[in-house]
Chains A and B, each alone.
Chain A
Amino acid sequence: MASRLPVRKTYKLYVGGAFPRSESGRTYEVQGANVARSSRKDVRDAVRAARGAFAKWSASTAYNRGQVLYRVAEMLEARTHDFAGVVGDEDEVNRSVDRVVWYAGWADKLAQVIGTSNPVAGPYFNFTVPEPTGVVGVVAPEQPALLGLVSRVVPPIVGGNAVVVLASESEPLAAIELAEVLATSDVPGGVVNILTGYKGETAPILAGHMDVNALDLAGADGGVDVAELEQLAANNVKRVVRGSSDGQSPWEVASFLELKTVWHPIGV
């Protein structure tokens, strides 16, 4: 009886700010743990949670969203050691923290870089502003498990969207650790929903869901049929993006923004 027996963590889903098991009761063994294997119903529940959270998150001020994102970076930084244990690389954790901070600073600058004032040939005041697309489905990259996930999830939420993300199938633990960070850093429940399991099973449901507005297929490889997902996405004219697992630019955010143009006559 040399050392103390450690207390293990149970890895579950992250939906609507809560940590439920899969309603299907299924798990699969990966990274030395039994991880929840999401079902069709879990995907639907997650989309519903995201839609529910969208109105308030998208209406929050850009300054507020920036602060919430910065708080995520603080929480991530504080758990550097935990994350390094999961992804095996402290450098990846550091880069992830820095990336969140970088995007946090974009929240209240996007409209100034992406929006325009339009000099129409008539007595009208006319401007174009970016607005979030709505619910974004993300198929997260398999690797790097944490940096890839952060690179794909943060751009849509800094722009005011709500997200349903299918975590890396082969390395899902970082995603659930990240869920714990989000749950403790003022991100409203439902803004980010994280599902683990088999992408081949869940991705088509997400891609065909009529209440998902955009789809990021960054991690759609391996057992996933990209053409099938893109066909399903056409059911409701989803915006489809093939995100880079290591991208960092405001245009990554712009992929999940709509542009609204408003006209008003000028007169006295």
Chain B
Amino acid sequence: MSELERKQDRAPVPADWTYAPAPESTDIVSLQDRYGLFVGGEWVEPASGEYFTTISPRDEEPLAGVAQAGREDVDRAVGAARDAFQNGWGKASAAERAKYLFRIARILQERSREFAVLESLNGGKPIKESRDVDLPLAAAHFFYYAGWADKLEYAFPNRTPKPIGVAGQIIPWNFPLLMLAWKVAPALAAGNTVVLKPAETTPLTALLFCDVLRQAELPAGVVNILTGDGRTGAEIVKHPGTDKIAFTGSTEVGKAIQRELAGTGKKLTLELGGKAANIIFDDAALDQAVEGIVNGIYFNQGHVCCAGSRLFVQESIYEQTIDKLKRRLTTLRVGDPLDKNTDVGAINSSMQLEKIAELVESGKEEGAEIYQPPCRLPEKGYWFVPTVFTNVAQSYRIAQEEIFGPVLSVLTFRTPDEAVEKANNTPYGLSAGVWTEKGSRILAMAQRLRAGVVWANTFNRFDPTSPFGGYKESGFGREGGLHGLEPYLKFDGETEEWGG
């Protein structure tokens, strides 16, 4: 019993104090045994007849069969999208386009819980995140871009904005429905039609989204959803009928896409990897900063391209910060994504789990010191304990490469100049964080950090009105905000540009 507890005459907290299970029911989701491809407003069989099984990473149980789309299917989908673009959607009144998008936003709000549960089932993220972050933001994205559809000439005065045509969109597995919203909403608002491929491991919310389109009575062919692995994505990129490609994923694949499109004149936007610096100055509000560090790297199991994976702590507060951080880590609840108390859910796939484990191994071998809180993990499924590495040198792989898991590398600095130098010392430039109570320092750091998003005294905040995207090898083009419309428009007589 602590001194304080004795004084206040409170009962001691039992040492093995645990949360009772608080599972979210999965009854709300009804899955088919098998899903076809959504092309021209209808469900069709893949030409190859090939299907694969999508599982839940929380227990490795199969959820449904999903079609593997090939070249012929891509051809059909692009054809359907082209038809829809030429025979209606591209010419439909912008105000009508807006109303379809408003409908989609509303239906997503109405069916929010169903989507949230399915997202956690298929992807492994904690239900409190899919419920409170992914779904509200996805609906908000449609609502925001709905309003732009009939106001484009105000967004781009003197520029005669016009839709491009058919957009090929390839999205990752970390925020499956939210990334769909980031891609589909601005594309449709601008008057394009879409062929979208969800990630191989998380196709189910995109497939459920087709039912939202049915309810919204969106004209056939405006949105086509093709499931499959990287081969499907490559076919979409290569297809001569896609006028624009938007990709979110790894820098490696992004470069391959940029190479593939070389010389074609096809428009491209890339939202790629990151290795964000989260910088804590000695005058920061430390308890808040520690919350920011935890949110920065353990949110969504660290499967976040803008995750604050490199922590830079000013030397004078190093010990204190690490102590507080370790203490906070012991309170994180790792486990069933569908438990409402879970903070850190399942790793998305066995492949990703291997990749994380391999990089963590390299960190130990290169000489970093590892800390993992005591943690009881479920027996089945894919799990990784939240991890902190201290004693990390800038050259270590864990300080250079994107881990995309719940693994933090801690480094130190003495002066603001040193912090900037180290933070910018990466080929990436997606995001950065700064923690200090000094206003002028926030602005100076925000100016000098070469990153597309800078969070000051906060981290991992997203909003449909707020442009998101990278500097350097983190990609080009922005998603969100007024700027997020531009990659889906062309302008008469202006310089042709890839970056959008």
Interface residues of A in 221-268 (CB under 8 A from B): 226-231, 233-237, 239-244, 247, 249, 251-252, 255, 258-265
Do A260 and B452 have beta carbons less than 8 Å apart? yes
Q: A121, A231, A235, A262 — which one has the most chain B CB atoms within 10 A of its CB?
A: A262
Q: Complex formed: what's the CA distance from A116 to B491 in Å? A: 20
Contact between B466 and A263 (Cβ–Cβ < 8 Å)?
A: yes
Q: Does B203 contact A (CB under 8 A)?
A: no
**For A116, A228, A240, A242, which residue has the most chain B Cβ atoms within 10 angstroms?**
A240
Q: Contacting A251 at CB < 8 Å: which of B159, B468, B476?
A: B159
Question: Complex Cα distance A259/B269, Å?
Answer: 14
- Interface pair A241/B259, CB less than 8 Å apart: no
CB distance from B413 to the nearest CB of A (A): 19
Q: Is B494 an interface residue (CB 8 A)?
A: yes
Closest to A121 in B: B463
B463 touches A240 (CB 8 A): no
* CB–CB B453/A118 < 8 A: no
Neighbouring A residues of B378 by C-beta, 8 Å: none
Q: Do residues B263 and A265 form an inter-chain contact, with CB atoms below 8 A? A: no
- Expressed in whole angstroms, the Cα–Cα distance for A179 and B467 within the complex equals 38
Q: Cβ of B498 and Cβ of A122 under 8 Å apart? A: no
Bound Cα distance from A124 to B454, whole angstroms: 13
Q: A120-B465, A261-B468, A263-B466 are in contact. Are A239 and B498 (CB under 8 A)?
A: yes
Complex formed: what's the CA distance from A233 to B262 in Å? 9
In the complex, the answer to whether B446 meets A255 with C-beta atoms within 8 Å is no
- Name the prevailing secondary structure of the A interface residues: mixed
Q: Is the CB of B452 within 8 A of A259?
A: yes
Q: Is the CB of A263 within 8 A of B461?
A: yes
Produce 1/0 per residue, B485-500, CB < 8 A to A.
0000001001111110
**Contact, CB under 8 Å: A116 / B463:** no
CB-defined contacts of B442 to chain A, threshold 8 Å:
264
Whether the Cβ atoms of B498 and A240 lie closer than 8 Å is yes
Known: A126-B463, A227-B263. A237 touches B495 (CB 8 A): no
Q: Which residues of B contact A229 (CB under 8 A)?
A: 262
Bound-state Cα–Cα, A116 to B463, Å: 14
- Whether the Cβ atoms of A237 and B472 lie closer than 8 Å is yes
Bound form: Cα–Cα A247–B465 in Å: 30
Q: Is the CB of A260 within 8 A of B458?
A: no
Query: In whole angstroms, what is the CA distance A128 to B13 when docked?
Result: 47
Interface membership of B209, Cβ < 8 A: no
Do A242 and B454 have beta carbons less than 8 Å apart?
A: no
Known contacts A237-B254, A237-B258, A251-B491, A259 near B483 by CB under 8 Å: yes
B23 proximal to A (CB < 8 A): no
Residue total for B at the interface (Cβ-Cβ under 8 A): 49
Q: CB < 8 Å: which of B159, B263, B456, B471 contacts A258?
A: B471
Q: How far is the CB of A116 from chain B (nearest CB, A)?
A: 6
Known: A247-B495, A263-B466. A116 touches B481 (CB 8 A): yes
Which B residues lie within 8 Å of A122 (CB)?
461, 463
- Shortest B436–chain A CB gap in Å is 11
Cα distance A126–B464 in the bound complex, in angstroms: 12
Asked if A237 and B255 sit within 8 Å, CB to CB, the answer is: yes
Query: Known interface pairs A116-B481, A128-B483. Does A244 touch B495 (Cβ–Cβ under 8 Å)?
Result: yes
Q: How far is the CB of A217 from chain B (nearest CB, A)?
A: 10
A260 partner, pick from B262, B451, B473, B496, beta carbons under 8 A:
B451
B455 nearest CB neighbor, chain A only: A263
Q: How far is the CA of A263 from the CA of B463 in the complex (A)?
A: 11
Which residues of chain A from 188 to 243 have a CB within 8 Å of any chain B CB? 213-214, 226-231, 233-237, 239-243
Contact: B263 with A251, CB < 8 Å?
A: no
A36 to chain B, nearest CB (A): 29
Q: Given A242-B495, A259-B478, check contact A264 B467 (CB 8 Å).
A: no
Minimum CB–CB distance from B403 to chain A (whole Å) comes to 20
> With A118-B465, A241-B495 known to touch, is A265 a contact of B457 (CB < 8 Å)?
yes
Report whether A263 and B452 are in contact in the complex, using a CB–CB cutoff of 8 Å.
no
| B465 in contact with A241 (CB, 8 Å) | no
Q: A251-B491, A265-B457 are in contact. Are A227 and B497 (CB under 8 A)?
A: no
Is there a chain A Cβ closer than 8 Å to B210's Cβ? no
- B481's partner among A128, A230, A247, A252 (CB-CB below 8 A) is A128
- Alpha-carbon separation in the docked complex, A258 to B470 (Å): 8
From A118, A236, A242, A249, B473 is in contact (CB under 8 Å) with: A236
List residues 249-270 of chain B with CB under 8 A from any CB of chain A.
Answer: 251, 254-256, 258-259, 261-263, 265, 270
Q: Tell me which of B256, B259, B469 has the highest count of chain A C-beta atoms within 10 A of its own C-beta.
A: B259
- A residues 121-135 near B (Cβ < 8 Å) are 121-122, 124, 126, 128, 133
Q: Is B163 an interface residue when CB atoms closer than 8 A count as contact? A: no
B419 interface residue per 8 A CB criterion: no
A32 at the interface (CB under 8 A from B): no
A235→B255 contact, CB < 8 A: yes
- Kindly state the separation between the CA atoms of A246 and B178 in the bound complex, as whole angstroms: 41
What 20 new A-B contacts, CB under 8 Å, besides A227-B262, A234-B255? A118-B481, A120-B465, A126-B465, A128-B466, A128-B481, A214-B499, A237-B472, A240-B498, A241-B498, A244-B494, A247-B494, A251-B494, A255-B497, A259-B469, A260-B452, A260-B471, A262-B446, A263-B453, A263-B466, A264-B458
Question: 18 A–B contact pairs at CB < 8 A?
Answer: A120-B465, A128-B466, A227-B263, A230-B258, A230-B263, A234-B256, A237-B251, A237-B255, A239-B476, A241-B497, A252-B494, A255-B499, A259-B452, A261-B452, A261-B453, A263-B466, A264-B457, A264-B458
In the A-B complex, list the 9 residue pairs whose CB atoms are closest, starting with the nearest. A227-B263, A230-B262, A234-B258, A120-B463, A239-B499, A231-B262, A118-B465, A234-B259, A264-B456
A residues touching B (Cβ–Cβ < 8 Å)? Answer: 116, 118-122, 124, 126, 128, 133, 213-214, 226-231, 233-237, 239-244, 247, 249, 251-252, 255, 258-265
